[in-house]
Amino acid sequence: MGTTPNRAYRYPASTDAPRVWEDMQELATDIDTDMAAQLSVWTSYTPVLTAATVNPVLGSGSVQHGRYKQIGKTVHCEGYILFGSSGASFGTGTWSVSLPVASANQTNASWIGTTYLRDTSGGSNGHYMGNGIIAANSSVMALGSNGSALVTSIIPFTWAVTDYIRWSATYESA
């Protein structure tokens, strides 16, 4: 009995006695076991918001949650960070959020996802789209806003309590 080099699926060797039904069942079991692990529920993680100079403080009533699914070296993740209703401060410098798995060695910064930045005091005008940017061997994603600017405490708007960030990203793991 041989096995495939990447996924270790069993198959009959040319010298094995014919066992068509048994061999098919073993292969089906191997594929089913492998796919069950890949298609199982996503894994939760707690994303952390940081800044280049002074980190933001989310304040009381804040929410941080994320989840991810890794299939081989491909990681899909999404997350949400809400500033609390009191005690929040917004730090200084460009913002990044932690990723659940470190990235592969990219040669340049790569655009790996999208961000939704919500100014809750902005009414119908408080919706901003952006991108997620990752550097080589990184475990954080920089947050880009509309255009080329990176997100800070005052870009793309002046952040305040109950504002929030949502993102989704796909990237290659280390």
* pTM across the whole model: 0.82
SS3 68: strand
At 159, list the tokens: 């952040």
Please give the domain boundaries of the chain with CATH numbers for all domains. 2-38 (no CATH), 43-172 (2.60.40)
Phi, psi of 5 (to 5 degrees): -70, -30
Assess whether the previous peptide bond of 18 is cis (omega < 30° from 0): no
How far, in Å, CA of 116 to CA of 111, rounded?
15
DSSP 8-state code for residue 38: H
Burial of 127 (0-12, 13-18, 19+ CB in 10 A): exposed
Listed residue (53, 109, 58, 110) closest to 80, CA to CA: 58
Can you give the pLDDT of all 174 residues of the chain as single tens digits?
888 888 888 888 889 888 988 988 988 999 998 888 778 899 999 999 999 999 999 999 999 999 999 988 999 999 999 999 999 999 999 999 999 998 887 666 788 899 999 999 988 889 999 999 887 668 888 888 876 789 999 999 999 999 999 999 999 998
